[in-house]
Structure 1
């Protein structure tokens, strides 16, 4: 067993606290977070978390298949526009 397994998953305390408070009150509202490195745990299933992508917060609905992944995996930070076109290629079209 590796050391990282013994340490357990990382979840930002503030985010975990908000999830537990909302579950006590039976609320379902969007939670904003900048913590992209937090691991998704089973308690988060069914909530919508707005994950920061560098410009804005992207709302992500957490499902059972996401458990064990990091929040940052579901909010893409880079957008692919396309490879550069030469001037000649654009004229031929």
Structure 2
């Protein structure tokens, strides 16, 4: 279920502050964030955010197509190694 339209998109307040600082040039390597739940806003386009996935920071360069999505969608938390059945077939 999606968020109500009248509430607007959810963005942590410190994210807006960090984004403004990054546009001024204070964050050269990208903005570090742990907020995977924040929505990507149009003013974030062209910026790089380092999104934490529970183990390391994944660099996410924001494009126009990402607006309206969450940061967590672009920073996977699990690594897919393939199906176990495929490994058994390769041994024979």
TM-score class, shorter: 0.7 to 0.9
Q: How many residues align?
A: 89
In the alignment, the residues of structure 1 paired with residue 22 and residue 4 of structure 2 have an alpha-carbon distance, to the nearest angstrom, of 29
- CA deviation profile, 1:58-87 (whole Å, cap 9, x unmatched): 001001111011000000111111222499
In the alignment, the residues of structure 2 paired with residue 65 and residue 52 of structure 1 have an alpha-carbon distance, to the nearest angstrom, of 21
Which structure has the larger Rg over C-alpha atoms?
Answer: 1
- CA separation of 1:73/1:88 partners in 2, compared to 1, >3 Å: closer, same or farther? closer
Residue segments in structure 1 that go unaligned for 5+ positions in a row: none
RMSD: 2.3
TM-score by length of 2: 0.84
TM-score by length of 1: 0.83
In the alignment, the residues of structure 1 paired with residue 7 and residue 76 of structure 2 have an alpha-carbon distance, to the nearest angstrom, of 27
The answer to whether 1:42 aligns with 2:17 is no
* Matched residue, 1:6: 6
